[in-house]
Amino acid sequence: MKYEADHALQVAMQMEKLGKSFYETLASCCDNKKVAQLAASLATAEEQHLESFEQMRQKLPAAERGPRMTEEDQYRTAAEIRGQILPTVADIRKMAMGSDAVATIDIAIKMERDAVLYYTKMAATVGGSDLTVMNKIIDAERSHVEVLQKHRMGLL
């Protein structure tokens, strides 16, 4: 039995947890008040996405729902996400303490675009209801790109 949608949702939940942590960290130490407020808002949105993905997973038919990821799987997935998508801790510190709000937003946009690309590649391997789930995940990530781009334009 294949669990593509289930696996994708579990990976998405890991990504949302890491994204929430990223935005909370940025919000708590950012020198630019507008960027800090935006980051706090995006942390809340990540939490909402996490809840949505959990609900989507619970709605999967039992035959399409696999076991929860083990701690080892979660660690491996988180490491992969950190390596491919999330900025490094050093980059987050630079962003938070830097005075260039546009550059900070650009790094967040890149992170969100990389997430969209990651899920798009994953979606290319599935079909049917799994593809529907993947498209919902991709849409959630694209919404963050749009919010960030809108705020970036407001800073110029």
Exposed, middle or buried, 139 (CB in 10 Å: 0-12/13-18/19+)? Answer: exposed
Tell me the pTM: 0.76
135 vs 87: which has the higher pLDDT: 135
> What is the number of domains present in the chain?
1
Please state, in angstroms and rounded to a whole number, the distance separating the CA atoms of residues 44 and 2: 32
Express each pLDDT in 96-134 by its tens digit.
Answer: 666 677 888 888 898 889 889 888 887 887 777 778 878
State residue 96's pLDDT score: 63
Question: Do the Cβ atoms of 130 and 50 come closer than 8 Å?
Answer: no
Q: What domain range is 62 assigned to?
A: 4-155
State residue 1's pLDDT score: 37
For residue 115, give the CATH number of its domain: 1.20.1260.10
What percent of the chain shows pLDDT beyond 90? 12
